[in-house]
């Protein structure tokens, strides 16, 4: 029996190496032949036709919120699920303070930084279809504000400024608003989450109110990600 | 000129990554992570990928460091 075990272990290692080698072979084969055959027709279509079809000058936003918007819905649902489960699992107890207390220079600097962070986050949210950025990054920048408040002052102060019920409400508005905006495409006679193909038009590319549904989807995703990350951080920092 | 700078940055990226993995002190490793992220952000900007650079700057330099520092503080290292 032990001899069989030994033999199986050796065969297992050899099989692992061979599987890894085959995997690497296919990987390098595909990477090497990326230019030469017709695998790039989809990306070439996005690059050449993306601005005309969706109206967004940021091609990343046009792929994320128009061509592949359903994947974005899935990613956002992951964050919603994580925030919900963490807020559900972690008991509501008093948070422990940190070992070090900050001097007043740190507190003053934080109060100076926070308005700039709010403006930067709002810019990244609302101009996501024109310039680099988008809902995800803007939401993370906005969620840094309650995280900084939590780190410098305390959990109590952070939850006094941004109440947990308000954060949960904002997250739910983001989650439900994304699906409702997707259903708008169905009601106007097109597919789910259609913005470029939908009959309400894309507007002229480069303006603020253009690109169909993309700015509103950006706003919803940003609200959801920001509130979700703030809830996750404040839930993780609490303990009994 | 930009080529020399680019390869120098790649070299520093490898150095910081190896230092981050092989250092004995945990807080050294945690503080090297945003350095790694900052070098990666500069490389992304040189490669003309500003969207990825923004995401990397906020995620790796800001959030991940905050979470790691809080975790080390919580476990009373």
Residue ranges of domains in chain B: 2-74
For A46-103, write each residue's pLDDT tens digit. 888 877 777 778 888 888 887 888 888 888 888 888 888 887 776 666 666 555 677 7
Choose from A7-11, A84-88, A224-228 the range with maximum mean pLDDT.
Answer: A224-228
Choose from A75, A237, A240 for mutation: most chain B CBs within 10 A.
A237
pLDDT exceeds 80 at position A142: yes
Q: What is d(CA B8, CA A22) in angstroms, rounded to the nearest whole number? A: 34
In chain A, which among 81-120 make CB contacts under 8 A with chain B? 98-99
Say whether A151 and B66 touch across the interface (CB within 8 A): yes
**Is residue A135 less than 8 Å (CB to CB) from chain B?**
no
pLDDT for the residue numbered A210: 74
Complex-level ipTM = 0.77
pLDDT exceeds 80 at position A35: no
Say whether A98 and B50 touch across the interface (CB within 8 A): no
Nearest-neighbour CA in chain A from B69: distance (Å): 10
**Is residue A151 less than 8 Å (CB to CB) from chain B?**
yes
Give how far Cα B4 sits from Cα of B8, B11, B48, Å.
Answer: 6, 11, 17
Asked if residue B44 lies in contact with residue B28, where contact means CB atoms within 8 angstroms, the answer is no
Q: What is d(CA A73, CA A183) in angstroms, rounded to the nearest whole number? A: 13
Average pLDDT over residues A191-195: 76
Choose from A135, A136, A139, A218 for mutation: most chain B CBs within 10 A.
A136
Q: Which of A23-27, A37-41, A118-122 has the lowest mean pLDDT?
A: A37-41
Percentage of chain A modeled with pLDDT above 70: 90
pLDDT for the residue numbered A100: 60
**Is residue A60 less than 8 Å (CB to CB) from chain B?**
yes
pLDDT for the residue numbered A96: 62
Average pLDDT over residues A25-51: 78
Average pLDDT over residues A34-41: 68
Q: What is d(CA B54, CA A121) in angstroms, rounded to the nearest whole number? A: 12
pLDDT exceeds 90 at position A22: yes
The dihedral through the CA atoms of B50, B54, B55, B60 has a sign that is positive
Q: What is the pLDDT along chain B (77 residues), one digit of tens a residue?
A: 888 888 999 999 999 988 988 888 888 888 898 999 999 999 999 888 888 888 888 888 888 888 888 788 777 65
DSSP sequence for A121-180: HHHHHHTTTTSS--HHHHHHHHHHHHHHHHHHT-HHHHHHHS-HHHHHHHHHHHHHHHHH
Give how far Cα A43 sits from Cα of A56, A62, A63, A161, A193, Å.
Answer: 16, 12, 10, 45, 21
Choose from B44, B47, B54 for mutation: most chain A CBs within 10 A.
B54
Q: Nearest chain B Cα to A230, which residue? A: B63
Closest CB from A136, A229, A239 relative to B55: A136
Say whether B51 and A133 touch across the interface (CB within 8 A): yes
- A237 versus B37: which is more confidently predicted? B37
pLDDT exceeds 80 at position A205: no
**Is residue A141 less than 8 Å (CB to CB) from chain B?**
yes
Q: Nearest chain B Cα to A141, which residue? A: B58
Say whether A98 and B73 touch across the interface (CB within 8 A): yes
A37: left (phi over 0), alpha (psi -120 to 50) or beta: beta
Nearest-neighbour CA in chain B from A132: distance (Å): 5
The mean pLDDT of chain A is: 81
Categorize the per-residue pLDDT at A189 as very low, low, confident or very high, splitting at 50, 70 and 90: confident
pLDDT for the residue numbered A19: 93
Categorize the per-residue pLDDT at A18 as very low, low, confident or very high, splitting at 50, 70 and 90: very high
Angle of the B26-46 helix axis to the B64-74 helix axis, nearest 10: 180
Print the SS3 string covering chain B: CHHHHHHHHHHHHHHHHHHHHHCCCHHHHHHHHHHHHHHHHHHHHHCCCHHHHHHHHHHHHHHHHHHHHHHHHHCCC
Nearest in space to A120 (alpha carbons), one of A132, A108, A109, A103: A132
Say whether B73 and A99 touch across the interface (CB within 8 A): yes
């Amino acid at each position: 029996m032990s001899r069989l075990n030994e033999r199986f272990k050796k065969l297992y290692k050899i099989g692992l190496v061979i599987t890894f080698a085959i995997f690497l072979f296919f990987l390098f084969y595909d990477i090497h032949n990326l230019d030469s055959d017709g695998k790039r027709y989809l990306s070439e279509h996005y690059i050449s036709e993306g601005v005309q079809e969706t109206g967004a000058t940021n091609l990343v936003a046009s792929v994320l919120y128009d061509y592949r918007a359903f994947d974005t819905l899935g990613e956002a649902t992951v964050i919603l699920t994580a925030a919900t489960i963490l807020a559900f699992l972690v008991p509501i107890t008093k948070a422990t303070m940190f070992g070090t207390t900050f001097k007043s220079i740190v507190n003053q600097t934080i109060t100076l930084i926070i308005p700039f962070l709010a403006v930067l986050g709002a810019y990244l949210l609302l101009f996501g279809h024109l310039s680099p950025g988008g809902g995800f990054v803007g939401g993370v920048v906005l969620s840094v504000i309650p995280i900084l408040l939590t780190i410098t002052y305390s959990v109590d102060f952070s939850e006094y400024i941004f109440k947990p019920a308000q954060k949960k409400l904002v997250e739910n508005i983001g989650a439900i608003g994304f699906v409702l905006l997707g259903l708008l495409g169905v009601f106007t006679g097109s597919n789910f989450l259609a913005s470029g193909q939908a009959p309400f038009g894309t507007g002229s590319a480069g303006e603020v109110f253009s690109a169909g549904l993309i700015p509103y989807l950006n706003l919803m995703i940003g609200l959801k990600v920001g509130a979700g990350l703030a809830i996750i951080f404040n839930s993780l920092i609490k303990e009994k | 000129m930009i080529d020399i700078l680019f390869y120098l940055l790649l070299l520093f990226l490898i150095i910081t990554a190896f230092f981050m993995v092989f250092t004995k002190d945990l807080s050294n490793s945690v503080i090297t992570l945003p350095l790694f992220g900052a070098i990666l952000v500069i490389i992304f900007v040189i490669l003309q990928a500003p969207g990825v650079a923004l995401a990397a700057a906020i995620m790796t330099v800001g959030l991940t460091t905050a979470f790691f520092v809080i975790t080390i503080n919580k476990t009373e290292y």
